[in-house]
Amino acid sequence: MTKRADPIYKVIFLNQGQVFEMYAKQIYQSDLWGFLEVEEFIFGERTQVVVDPSEEKLKAQFEGVVRSFVPMHSIVRIDEVERLGTPKISEARGGGNVMPFPMPMPEK
């Protein structure tokens, strides 16, 4: 893999029971403790006749967003890629042996 002047990063993270697969130009540790900053999201151009509804949903959700702060514990993986893929949202599937630690119930 050759070094690019402007790298593209694929960021996979969990958010509200869904797995987000996004592409961005800038990723770095935030001044907010425990967060990563993701900037300059990249979406595919509308040159194709077929429109991916998942990508359109992501475009609408991140329209006007300059920077996102993603908690480090939500990050699944970050890759530097050569080519831009299709951003997508998918449902997080459970089924593992890991059980989340029980949280106290909020008082009413």
Beta carbons of 70 and 11 less than 8 angstroms apart? yes
What pLDDT score was predicted for residue 11? 94
Of residues 77 and 104, more confidently modeled: 77
Q: Kindly report, residue by residue over 45-89, the tens digit of the pLDDT.
A: 655 566 667 777 888 888 888 899 999 998 999 999 988 888 888
Choice between 21 and 107, residue whose per-residue pLDDT is larger: 21
Helix (H, G, I), strand (E, B), or coil: what is residue 65? Answer: coil
pTM: 0.72
pLDDT of residue 83: 86
If you write DSSP's letter for every residue of 69-95 in order, what string do you get? EEEGGGEEEEEEESS----EEEEPP--
Tell me the CA distances in angstroms from 37 to 48, 71, 101, one per residue in order: 31, 9, 27
Q: Which is more confident, 26 or 62?
A: 26
* 97 — pLDDT class (breaks 50, 70, 90): low
Listed by start position, the domains of the chain span: 8-91
Residue 94 clears pLDDT 90, i.e. is over it: no
Rounded to the nearest integer, the mean pLDDT of the chain is 82
